[in-house]
Amino acid sequence: MRPNALFPPDLRDLCLEIGFGGGEHLARQAELHPETGFLGCDLFTNGIASLVRHIDERRLENVRIADVEATLLLAALPDACIGRVFLLFPDPWPKRRHHKRRFVQPAALDALARVLADDAEFRFATDHSPYARWTLALVLAHEAFAWPAETADDWRRRPPDWPETRYEAAAVAGGDRPVYFAFRRLPRGTE
pLDDT tens sequence for the chain (191 residues): 666 678 877 888 999 999 999 999 999 999 999 999 999 999 999 999 999 999 999 999 999 999 999 999 999 999 999 999 999 998 875 677 767 888 999 999 999 999 999 999 999 999 999 999 999 999 999 999 999 999 988 888 888 888 888 888 888 898 888 999 999 999 998 86
Rounded distance, CA 122 to CA 115, Å?
Answer: 11
Q: Which residues are catalytic?
A: 91
Sketch the domain layout of the chain as residue ranges.
8-185
Protein fold of 8-185: Rossmann fold (3.40.50)
Contact, 139 vs 109, CB < 8 A? yes
Rounded distance, CA 3 to CA 82, Å?
Answer: 9
